[in-house]
Amino acid sequence: MAIIPQIPLFSWEHVEGLGDLDRLRLVLDYMPDKTLMEQLECDRGHGRDDHSVRAMWNSVLAGTVFQHPSIESLRRELSRNGQLRYLCGLRNVPSASAYTRFLRGVIRHEAEIDTMFERMVEDLATLLPGFGERAAIDGKALPSFAKHRANSDVPDGRRDIDADYGKKTYKGKHKDGTPWEKIVRWFGYRLHLVVDEEYELPIAYSVTKASIVDLPGGKDLIAQVAERQPKVIERMQILTADKGYDDTKFTVTLYDEHRIKTVIDIRNSWKDGEQTRLLPGQKNATYDLHGNVYCYHPQTGEQHRMANGGFEQDRRTLKKLCPARHFGIACNAQAACPLAKGLRVPLSTNRRIFTPIDRSSYAWTRLYKERTAVERVNSRLDVSFGFELHTIRGLKKMKMRVGLALCVMLAMAIGHIREHQPDKLRSLVA
């Protein structure tokens, strides 16, 4: 019997393997932009119609797909590439001023770009099994094309009067145990992004000033998703993040209000140098910052880490099991030990340390490694969508350009799935 390989429903390798014009065609065919085009046509009214709204919009999408850092770069490409002009619907190359006026109109309809993004997220939820169930959140620096704060708050098209300064600190240890620290500073903005870990596709985003750090921006983004995309929150089961999002209120809100289990790295907030603390209500059980629970031999004081027994949702407790029984450790005090039958640790003991997915479990470690999906999406924005080198100044322009890039990303995914339909190859009956 022939074995049919399990072909993934979506993979970025397949999309990135397509030619430039093929990727653009996917975007043009599957971008849900009808309402936006109607709004822009209405705005134009009886004004000049040297280039149709649709053709101008198509060329702007082409600039996003082909990573053009500026309108002038796009205009040069249109000037030399007749096939691209034909695909966009242009008879000749629009002037720079025509693009300026057109993009101002697009910025005025920022809400419709958000609507397009949310519509495609819902489409992907029907096309991709499990889409949005496991998500990751992170912040990304978006430097402004301007280098510093303007001396005047009067907009003139050249200054950036919206941006401010941001900072992110990275810490770690060298192989020899010595600590290292790296501080990254920039002038501009910050992207707060939630992505699906399996398919590496965006689920929600917001763009703020650079001074809005990860945690406040993340809280606002989750509140925005709960209000505007309630189905996304309902689907989400796990959210992973680095220690920049380590906060008791954030963890409690996600689980108590939305039943989202968090996998968030923890900061060392124990300033007194303690390695363990006594577990409330116990005489010979302690816990550490990473959720490990230890029992102690009543005579010798010998310490052993207790085994994990899983999460009891109805009790809201984590089970910890006797190491002598589950690890085969010799213990002559087992018969009289009050922990021989295990113990239950309520989440309320410390909501940062004790989470529904046990910090000390292999499952937590495995899930945390999947957080790199959001880093790959951030890298794709830089490399494949031109944010590494750009000429964007101003918050409204940055929001528009980020929204377009993420919409293009989703449209490519939807187009690739619907045209190739690899799921039909999984069944001889389909």
- Which tokens sit at 411? 């449209």
CATH of domain 129-150+159-268+367-398: 3.30.420
Name 262's bridge partners.
239
Q: Taking 60 as the threshold, does the pLDDT of residue 4 lie above it?
A: no
Mean pLDDT of the chain: 87
Q: Look up tokens 């890039």; give the residue.
A: 405
pLDDT above 60 for 424: no
Strands (DSSP E) contained in 75-163 are 134-143
Phi, then psi, of 384 in degrees rounded to 5: -95, -15
Pairing between strand 164-173 and 238-241?
unpaired
238 close to 216: Cβ distance less than 8 angstroms: no
Domain boundaries, the chain: 12-114+399-426, 129-150+159-268+367-398, 277-350
Q: How far apart are CA 20 and CA 31, in angstroms?
A: 16
Per-residue pLDDT at 178: 85
Q: Are 238 and 260 in contact (CB under 8 A)?
A: yes
Q: Which parts of 221-352 are beta strand (E)?
A: 238-241, 261-264, 277-278, 285-287, 293-296, 303-305, 307-312, 317-321, 343-346
Which phi and psi angles does 359 have, rounded to 5°? -60, -30
| Contact (Cβ atoms closer than 8 angstroms) between residue 357 and residue 382 | no
Q: Which of 32-36, 180-184, 239-243, 309-313 has the lowest mean pLDDT?
A: 180-184
Rg from Cα positions in the chain: 26
**Under 8 Å CB-to-CB from 167, ≥6 apart: which residues?**
183, 184, 185
Range from 124-138, 218-232, 333-347, 348-362 carrying the lowest mean pLDDT:
333-347
Cα 248 from Cα 353, distance rounded (Å): 9
| 282's tokens | 């116990």
Q: Phi and psi (nearest 5°) for 114?
A: -60, -40
CA pair distance 189, 370, nearest whole angstrom? 26
The residue assigned the tokens 């599957």 is: 30
Q: Please, what is the Cα angle at 205 between 35 and 108, to 5 degrees?
A: 40
The pLDDT tens digits for 183-231 are 889 899 999 999 999 999 999 999 999 999 999 999 999 999 999 999 9
Handedness of CA 384, 367, 229, 124 (dihedral sign): positive
DSSP annotation of 94 reads: P
Average pLDDT for 249-264: 96
pLDDT class of 346 with cuts at 50, 70, 90: very high
Q: Taking the model in full, what pTM does it have?
A: 0.88
Residues 6 or more apart in contact with residue 141 via CB below 8 angstroms: 166, 168, 184, 186, 188, 190, 210
Q: Per-residue pLDDT for 97 more than 60? A: yes
Alpha carbon 174 to its chain centroid, in Å, reads 28
pLDDT grade, residue 308 (50/70/90)?
Answer: very high
